[in-house]
Structures are given as C-alpha cells and as structure tokens.
Homo-oligomer: A and B are copies of this chain.
Amino acid sequence: MRAVDIIAKKRDGEELTSEEIRFFVHGYTRGEIPDYQAAAWLMAVYLRGMTERETRDLTLAMAQSGEMMDLSDVAPIVVDKHSSGGVGDKVTLVVAPVVAACGVPVGKMTGRGLGFTGGTVDKLESIPGFRTDLSADEFRAQLAQIGLVVTGQSANLAPADRKLYALRDATATVSSLPLIVSSIMSKKLAGGAHAILLDIKVGSGAFMKTVEEASRLAEAMVRLGQELGRRMAALISDMNQPLGWAVGNALEVREAIDVLHEGGPDDLREHCLVVAAEMLTLAGRVANPVEGMEMAKRVIANGNAWQKFRALVEAQGGDVRFVDDPDRLPRARYVESVPAPADGYVQRIDAAQIGMAVVDLGGGREKKEDPIDHSVGVVVHHKVGDLVQKGTPLVTLHANDRVRLERARQRVLAAHIIGSEPVPPLPLFYKKIA
C-alpha cells in the first residue's frame, strides 16, 4: 500500500477502504507519511468528502492512534459533554459539578481557546494552582474518588488528531464535515465516556453559521457515536450573542460560581439546567429531561453542586480560597463601563466581535502559543431584545492596557446594534438530536 495511491483514490472521489484509512492515519501518526502527503490528502477529503463508513473508519483509526481509556471499572456509566465552541460558554464549569452532584460520574477532557472562542482549560487556570495536565492514572483515580474530572486533553489520547488538526489549520482544511466529526469524536471515543452530550453552537459567535449546518454535523456525530456503542444526544443551541454576561477567563469563572449559588444570568442558568438534564437522562439517572431538570435544580439549591465544584478545585490542586471568595480571582487594572450610545432595543450583539475584543485585550489567543491574561474581559449588561437607555452602562470592560481598552471600546460598541424597532429575544436552543 502506498500513500500516494490513497491520495489519488480520494482525489478521484472514490471511497477508501478501512485498511487504506488505517494505513494512512497510523503511517502519518508514526511519521512514516510526511506532512505534505497528509496535506494533499486532507485537501482531497475536504473537496471530495467522505461517506459515513469512511468517516467512522477515520474516527476509529484516529482514536486508536494512541491510548484508548476504558472507564468501565471506574463506573458503569461515565458521562461527558462537548461544546463546539462559543463566546462566554462557561457551561462545563456549572454542568459538570451539577451532574456529578446528582451521582453520575463526569470525566471530561477539554481544550484551550483559539480565535474568538474561549476554552474551559484557560478558564480553570484562572484559579491559582489548578492543574489541567492530569495523567491518565490521575484522571481515573480522581474520577473514582470524587466522580468529577475536568482536565486538558492528554497527549496520549488520539495523537493523530493533534497532528492532523495542526496541519488542517495551516492548510485551509478545517471546515470539512468528516474532518470535524472525526476530530471531535476520536478524542471522545479515546476518552472512554459511555454517554456523550453534544452542545453544538450556531450563529455569529460559532463555527457553524446555520441551524442546518449545525444539525448535519450533530446528526453525523450522534449516528457515529451510537454505531460505536455510545449513548449520544445533541443540542443545537444559539450563539448569536454571548452566553451569559461575562466573556473572559476569571470573569466567567465568577459567573459560573454565581450560577452554582443560584445567581447569575437567566440565559446561562437555563442553558446549564437543560444541558445537565439531558446528560442525566442520557446516563439513565432520570427517566426524562423534566425529571433531570428537577434534580439539577435541587443539587444547586441544596449546595451539593457547589460543594462538588469546590471538591474539583481541591482535587486538582487549585486554591479553594479563590473560589470561596471570587473577589480574589485575577482582576484587571482598568474597569470601565461603556454607556449605551442611544435609546432603543438591542437588535444584535455580534458575539464573534465580542470574542475578538477579549482576544485583543489579552484574554484569548490568535495563535496556539500565545499567553493568556486571565483577568481581562468584557461583561455585557443586555441581551438581544432588551430596551436600553442612552448613557446607561451597555458593557463593562476589564483591561490592563489603556490602548487596548480604547480599541475594545470601539469594538464592543460596533458589535451592538441598537434600533427603535423592538425585536424578540433569541432562543436558547433550536433543536435536539438523539
């Protein structure tokens, strides 16, 4: 078997065999197939597509390129969630302790932010001492002990994905359905969870711009996971405005803590309860999402979810004094509010622009190796549909640099469209796929 023949076959739109896909993925992972051959193959896959069978084989080959975790001896059902990435998406910080507090073990590996989307790993690292580089053994041990782990992606899981993802980024082959599906699902399969809830974002602040596009992706992943023996469901959720109010790492941790204390923004709380309810249902802990929602509300109200979050921080080396008193979390030097420039209804908030404003403040990264300033960010005070009064605070900026603060001011103002026509609020979810 030769790599060049496999490239030619895909180039000509033919279906690759399981053996050919395995040969290519494993050869590339081991460095026997060079980057340039993988790059040509990725472009051929991008332009010619893959059948469901090929996508499944690709996902399996990528999952099997490294260690495959088996969590069955830790717990009969371990649940995981995956978000396709958004602006202000701190859902994992709330949902993981809520579900774990309901008695369902949550073992989650998560990513760093890139571009306008934030990453849960970066957010957790706002908490001094918090470790996100657990080994596989530490992962298992902590999952067994407290039923909750949220850590960074292990280098041993799906190494093919790491190599291919870096290459896709440099070769304009990111936005391909089979490549996105296999990238996400190979990591999830290797991570060992038995039930996986997908939270696929759609809108200006997401990679997917339409509900149709997001649904196709979600359906492909749900089907693939189910065929490989996982319990799967997907929510298609709105990302046309930031989720909650806060965008920026420490600011989002604070907001998540508020929700765990029965506070925080309504949209975020509601979003988290729905996701938690679906995860509890998938795991078989409750009969349906209505019961799941009740149980989730209960563990927030009785403080168990908060205690679980605190246990998570403690187990991973974080200093709990910083979450017990969130005022101690990293704070920016300049905190300034931006007044609404006019009376009217908030008709649009460009979530990607808000995300990019935070990146520019130093709170995100344009390139993988960029450092992160955990203290900076943007807090929006209104959602689409709200009526605002000229001169009242529209947004609060948290910055450590005056020049950047001024740039962020321009950017967040441009991101808000205020008009005299009333508009309805945006939905939280568009549909569920199971």
Contacts and interface: CB of A to CB of B under 8 A. Distances in A.
In this complex, the interface size class of chain A, counting residues with CB under 8 Å from chain B, is 20 to 34
Nearest to A4: B172
Contacts of A167: 36
A34 interface: yes
A308 B278 CA distance: 87
Given A36-B35, A40-B40, A171 B47 contact: no
A416 to B, nearest CB: 29
A173 B40 contact: yes
Contacts of A41: 43
A8 interface: yes
Contact of A39 (B5, B37, B48): B37
A321 to B, nearest CB: 44
Contact of A171 (B4, B46, B169, B173): B4
A7 interface: yes
A42 interface: yes
A29 to B, nearest CB: 15
A177 to B, nearest CB: 15
Contacts of A403: none
Interface string A34-59: 11111111111011100000000000
Contacts of A44: 43, 47, 172
A40 to B, nearest CB: 4
A40 B37 contact: no
Contact of A38 (B5, B11, B34, B36): B36
A1 interface: no
Contact of A36 (B5, B46, B171): B171
Interface string A172-205: 1100000000000000000000000000000000
Contacts of A7: 43, 171-172
A432 to B, nearest CB: 32
Given A44-B43, A47-B11, A37 B4 contact: no
A167 B37 CA distance: 9
Contact of A35 (B34, B43, B169): B34
A170 B37 contact: yes
Contacts of A4: 169-172
Contacts of A48: 47
A279 B167 CA distance: 48
A35 B38 CA distance: 11
Given A35-B34, A35-B35, A47-B47, A8 B40 contact: no
A36 B40 CA distance: 8
Interface in A39-89: 39-44, 46-48
A293 to B, nearest CB: 43
A46 B48 CA distance: 12
A383 B43 CA distance: 45
Interface in A234-262: none
Nearest to A3: B170
Given A11-B43, A34-B170, A41-B43, 12 more contacts: A4-B169, A7-B172, A35-B36, A35-B39, A36-B39, A36-B170, A36-B171, A37-B39, A39-B171, A40-B171, A43-B43, A44-B47
24 contacts: A4-B169, A4-B170, A7-B171, A11-B172, A11-B173, A34-B35, A34-B170, A35-B35, A35-B36, A36-B38, A36-B167, A36-B171, A37-B39, A37-B170, A39-B39, A39-B171, A40-B42, A40-B172, A40-B173, A43-B43, A43-B44, A44-B172, A47-B47, A47-B48
Top 3 closest pairs, chain A to chain B, by CB: A40-B171, A8-B172, A43-B43
